[in-house]
Structure 1
Amino acid sequence: MPLVLTEAEGRPSVNGSYFSSINPANGQCLQEKYCDKFSDCNFGLLGNLYACEGKPGKVIEVRAKKRTGSNSLVTALRKTLEAQYPDKSLALGGTFIIQKGKAKIHIMVNTGLGFG
């Protein structure tokens, strides 16, 4: 879960990222602050990153009860935006809140190269 504030006009970069792994002692999820173990702003070789200036902008709220097609939620969102704005370059960043039900989520395998 990368969260990096980049260096700017006399202010150093700040790494507020977290990383998660399975605790080998008890098999439970272990979430740690990146800066507690490392002092850089590096991340693994693969990531879905969203970069912005932190300024307010338009917000969309998406509510879904069930999947109606073969695409994942992220792919359905991307294809819908591409169809609505075919001549624009868009970025979408945000958080999914699962209030009830189940979700199949891709978890990166720890490669020893950064985030696990």
Structure 2
Amino acid sequence: MYYEDGVYYWYGENKEHTDGKNEVWTWGIKVYSSTDLYNWQDRGFLIQPVLDDPNASMFPTKRIDRPHILKCPSTGKYVCWIKLSGPEAAFTIWQAGRPTLC
């Protein structure tokens, strides 16, 4: 979760296509926002799934852990750090100019 200017941002793996019957682990990263921690608004995808490249870190069968978001004080950019598990264990880092889009 990230907090800025009176707004909470909640980030997580999108599991809407994960059903245990296929190999889909996650369908991108979603972001939600709230000003009171009770009422949440779906802000859409922080990071879209990559469907045309099986080697991409955001391909739906890649086993990713929950995203971590922070703001870099020297650049003012938002940084998203994600760990990939499994045989191809690695890290992927994304950056953006606002907390709702990478």
TM-score, structure 1 as length reference? 0.24
Relative to its length, the structure with more helix (as a share) is 1
TM-score, structure 2 as length reference? 0.26
Relative to its length, the structure with more strand (as a share) is 2
Looking at CA atoms only, which structure, 1 or 2, has the larger radius of gyration?
1
